[in-house]
Structure 1
Amino acid sequence: MADSASILQATAAGDSQRAPGSPVVDFGILAFGYAFGQDLDVSETAGSYVTDPERVIRWGYSTFHRAAPEVTATALAADAARKALAELNMDASELDLVVLATSEMPDYLYWDTSAGLARELGIEKTQTLLLNEGCASGVTGLGMVAGQLAIQPELRTVLFVAVNRVSEFHRNRMNVNNAVHSDGAVAAVLRRGHDQLRWLSTAQFTDPDLCDFFRCDFGGAVTPQPPADWSTATAPSGLERVLNHFQKDPNRLREFQEKLSGRMTEVIQQACQQAGVATDQLAHVIYINDSADTIEEVAAPFGVTVEHTNAEISARHGHMGAADQLISLGEARQRGDIKPGDLVAMSGISIGMRWYCTLVQV
């Protein structure tokens, strides 16, 4: 095996020979696998989570997924992974790297969930990588994979899994933001040199001043235990944190909303620039599973109509954190909504606050 210095030199040499705008490495998605909690009707269950269910129903979600208490994030991830591998008749021993992207409270503290996934799949010595950037990690993680492929030429096949499993002790799934949070996982088998669903670029940036908006104040090292009378039923929502941050000033809130939209447009433009493509080449925009109005607003600056977004898929699934965009991409491809050659932007806003976008070409 080549030493690190020679690999880096080869990578640098290859980078200098790349055509402007071409990907650092070539890889695409071979197959998808999915795992979901039980389907539940939003209108029928909202009243058990919030005192004002009409507010939740107005967001436009029809169903969401809630996993049974005994079903962990690791179990959901493993289920999705096995289905993706079965699609290819592939054994887990053929994988060179296993990446797990999570967006919720881990199954255990002081524990590597990616290693737990590898054990579920019966893997002994394959590399694993754990990502936890909230909702962003299922999209920005593809850029992390590109980096690993660039510095490790021996890597060929990667299992990339994104999972969201709400801990209802820590979080009220209908009172975090304007979304119904849902339990689901998606697995994608990635292959170096594969020419379909090719990764082109990943762009992201954060505004660290806003990093506290959606944090959980209890369970970490600062405050391990919540007060005796604390409950997610009465705990402040993330939206209340936002309102308090801006002192409920309507002008400041309006400016913040404009900043959210402007930066979303900016990060998609940045991803396009990195890939060497014009924004008017975008055929589809896949955002986090938000309301149809919000998704339409994100896509509009690029001339992409709501029919070419994940708005309809979003309403059926709810917000599955890191898994949103890859599930939407896989389902859109399966239904024939995206065609060979189409350019797709997978984008969103996550804790941090982080704006992000990955471009793929079908």
Structure 2
Amino acid sequence: MTYGIAAVDWALGDPIPVAEAAPSYTEQLRRVAGWGYRTFHRATDDTGLTDLATEAGRRALDRAGITAADIDLVVLAMADIPEYLYWDAAASTQARLGAFSAEACLVNQACSSGVVAFDFVAGKFATHPEYRKALLISAHKVCEPYWNRMESGTAVASDGAAAAVLVRGHTECSWLATEIISDGRYADAGRLPVGGEACPFTADAPKPAPVGPPDRAMKELLGGDPRALVKFVRQDRHNNRTVLERACRRAGIPYPSVRRVLYMNGTLKGLEAYAQELGIPREDTNAPLAADYGHFGCVDQLLSLGLLLESGELASGEPLALTSTGSGMHWACTLLRV
């Protein structure tokens, strides 16, 4: 079973200079400036996650030259909260696209969702031989009452979606393998304490504050033990490399042959450290794109891939890795051959 990417397209919020918007989000201006972002993308208040997903999906279908009626599977990957609760955002996106004959599925594993979704499609293709074409959409819209774009994470958060048309037997940008490591011991880090069944919203309850910084949440989860924090940081680095090595072994590709790795749109310092851990130049990651786009949750890798394909920077036959770390925790790698 093989499949490849026939087309990639995207829909993004409006570009906004970080320096101009930062004072309205945080008082830690020096900290945000040190991250190295120039621009982030913010959708209008009346634009929802599925609006972005639907627009990106339509653009990808148009670019591939096929209609929604040709699609057998729609997979929506997301990392934030959609427009409504008790509501299937994947099914809504399928209907709005007009892909009524397609199965609709949702993948929601934080920032790793977009990378993990490739494995989900591979599984569906393997167990449903009649499925020929799939539409994978990664979408992100910051739910601002619960997430501060410049304080709740270690990156400036953006709104947008990217979509890929995946075709069985297609040889360009072909899927080779996906590997995932999960460690639920860290699942409670950064969770929103209210709004779920354990502590539902009520009319007389105080308005919940946005999720706090992840470094503070992790310290609290680990009981303030500096040794435990150092151990986690080492594990994080180790797992990021391990999922890539495992994907290479599964695909039968030598690890050193993978010179292009698209990670999350993190800070420039973070991407520099990540590149050093993998033994590649920072320019061979998505670092050149991150500063002008911001962090789109689970969308970063597919968006970066689409931008690089459009610019012609990727060589045919070149192995390429999409990697991610998502709260939960999950470390994921999808290996492609351009």
TM-score (norm 2): 0.96
Deviation at 1:192, TM superposition (A): 0.5
Instruction: Report the counterpart of residue 276 of structure 1 in structure 2.
Output: 252
Q: Distance in 2 between matches of 1:158 and 1:182?
A: 26
The DSSP-based 3-state class of the residue aligned with 1:178 is coil
Instruction: Report the counterpart of residue 228 of structure 1 in structure 2.
Output: 206
Deviation at 1:74, TM superposition (A): 0.5
**Percentage of matched positions with identical amino acids:** 37
1:238 aligns with 2:178: no
Q: Distance in 2 between matches of 1:53 and 1:154?
A: 53
Instruction: Report the counterpart of residue 356 of structure 1 in structure 2.
Output: 332
Deviation at 1:273, TM superposition (A): 1.1
Instruction: Report the counterpart of residue 133 of structure 1 in structure 2.
Output: 109
Q: Distance in 2 between matches of 1:155 and 1:342?
A: 27
**Conserved 8 A contact 1:279-1:302:** no
2:176 aligned to which of 200, 206, 211: 200
Q: Distance in 2 between matches of 1:122 and 1:139?
A: 25
**Conserved 8 A contact 1:333-1:339:** no
Q: Residue type matched to 2:71 in 1?
A: L
Alignment RMSD (CA, Å): 1.4
Instruction: Report the counterpart of residue 232 of structure 2 in structure 1.
Output: 256
Q: Residue type matched to 1:266 in 2?
A: T
Instruction: Report the counterpart of residue 317 of structure 2 in structure 1.
Output: 341
Superposition pairs for residues 1-362 of structure 1, below 5 Å? 25-225=1-201, 227-228=205-206, 230-232=208-210, 236-362=212-338
Q: Residue type matched to 2:137 in 1?
A: V
The DSSP-based 3-state class of the residue aligned with 2:144 is coil
**Conserved 8 A contact 2:72-2:101:** no
Instruction: Report the counterpart of residue 8 of structure 1 in structure 2.
Output: none
Q: Residue type matched to 1:306 in 2?
A: R
Q: Distance in 1 between matches of 2:114 and 2:208?
A: 31
Deviation at 1:237, TM superposition (A): 2.5
**Conserved 8 A contact 2:69-2:101:** no
Deviation at 1:253, TM superposition (A): 2.5
Q: Residue type matched to 1:215 in 2?
A: R
Q: Deviations over 1:267-313 (max 9, x none)?
A: 11111111111110102011111012222322334432111110011
Q: Distance in 1 between matches of 2:309 and 2:230?
A: 37
Q: Deviations over 1:134-189 (max 9, x none)?
A: 11110111001000000111110111100011110111111122111110100100
Distance 1:125 1:320, change over 3 A: same
The DSSP-based 3-state class of the residue aligned with 1:231 is coil
Deviation at 1:230, TM superposition (A): 3.7
Aligned residue-pair number: 336
**Conserved 8 A contact 1:282-1:302:** no
**Conserved 8 A contact 2:245-2:255:** yes
Q: Distance in 1 between matches of 2:20 and 2:184?
A: 38
Deviation at 1:250, TM superposition (A): 3.5
Instruction: Report the counterpart of residue 10 of structure 1 in structure 2.
Output: none
Q: Distance in 1 between matches of 2:208 and 2:132?
A: 48
Bigger mean CA offset, 131-140 vs 211-220: 211-220
Q: Deviations over 1:244-264 (max 9, x none)?
A: 223444443233222211111
Instruction: Report the counterpart of residue 6 of structure 1 in structure 2.
Output: none
TM-score (norm 1): 0.89
Distance 1:103 1:229, change over 3 A: closer
Q: Distance in 1 between matches of 2:183 and 2:147?
A: 23
Distance 1:337 1:223, change over 3 A: same
The DSSP-based 3-state class of the residue aligned with 1:340 is coil
The DSSP-based 3-state class of the residue aligned with 2:276 is helix
Q: Deviations over 1:1-45 (max 9, x none)?
A: xxxxxxxxxxxxxxxxxxxxxxxx210000011001111111111
**Conserved 8 A contact 1:136-1:350:** yes
Q: Residue type matched to 1:314 in 2?
A: A
5+ unaligned residues in a row in structure 2: which ranges?
none
Instruction: Report the counterpart of residue 16 of structure 1 in structure 2.
Output: none
The DSSP-based 3-state class of the residue aligned with 2:259 is strand
